[in-house]
């Protein structure tokens, strides 16, 4: 039976409420974070029974200067949070339960499962140029400056002189 408006409900100080979706349940505070997750799975078996513990997180609505925020409870903070005398104006400490989404699955093709792609450095490797003055793997000079530079090899200078001019 729900209490009538204006009638206060007295909640024992050693009781907290778990909240998942639109459901609430009173529980005794668990001693450890792991036990708290186990209690949540026991109290909400349809929603959490098959969910791995590492995907379940707990949070508490906290009033800050910028408003009320949902603050996640870490494993190390659990004893301090449940042991704290601070409660909501209703006298109840409500722990929200969240289920973390699964990471997106990568789409794979049949070939990608069996044949790894070569490392990037091997894919970009080029064979040596048959024209050393056009070798683009060197970054010290552009191909244009290599072709028309006064520091060209004597063979290149000779071949440039022997070509007919247009």
Report the C-alpha gap between 71 and 96 in whole angstroms.
9
- For 89-121, write each residue's pLDDT tens digit: 666 788 999 999 988 887 765 555 555 555 555
Question: CA gyration radius for the chain?
Answer: 35
Confidence of residue 127 (pLDDT cuts 50, 70, 90): low
Selecting from 3.30.365.10, 3.10.20.90, 3.40.50.1370, 3.40.50.2300, what CATH number does the domain 16-99 have? 3.10.20.90
Q: What is the pTM of this model?
A: 0.56
Confidence of residue 77 (pLDDT cuts 50, 70, 90): very high
- Average pLDDT value for residue range 119-140: 54
Confidence of residue 76 (pLDDT cuts 50, 70, 90): very high
Q: β-pairing, 56-64 with 23-27?
A: unpaired
Order of all β-strands in the sheet with 67-73: 23-27, 16-20, 94-99, 56-64, 67-73
Who has greater pLDDT, 110 or 71?
71
Q: Where exactly are the structural domains of the chain?
A: 16-99, 127-161
Token match 């349809």: residue? 46
- Average pLDDT value for residue range 120-127: 52
Contacts of 91 (CB under 8 A, 6+ apart): 9, 10, 11
């Amino acid at each position: 039976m729900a209490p009538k408006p204006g009638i206060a409900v007295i909640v024992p100080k050693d009781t907290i409420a778990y909240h998942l979706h639109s459901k609430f349940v009173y529980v005794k505070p668990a001693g450890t974070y792991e036990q708290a997750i186990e209690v949540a799975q026991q109290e909400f078996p349809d929603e959490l029974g098959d969910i791995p513990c590492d995907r379940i997180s707990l949070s508490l609505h906290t009033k800050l200067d910028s408003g009320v925020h949902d603050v996640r409870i870490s494993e190390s903070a659990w004893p301090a949070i449940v042991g704290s005398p601070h409660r909501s104006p209703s006298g109840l400490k409500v722990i929200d339960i969240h289920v973390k989404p699964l990471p997106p699955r990568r789409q794979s093709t049949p070939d990608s499962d069996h044949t790894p792609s070569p490392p990037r450095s091997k894919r970009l490797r080029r064979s040596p140029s048959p024209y050393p003055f056009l070798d683009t793997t060197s970054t010290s000079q552009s191909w244009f400056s290599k072709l028309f530079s006064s520091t060209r090899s004597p063979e290149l200078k000779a071949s440039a002189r022997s070509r007919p001019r247009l």
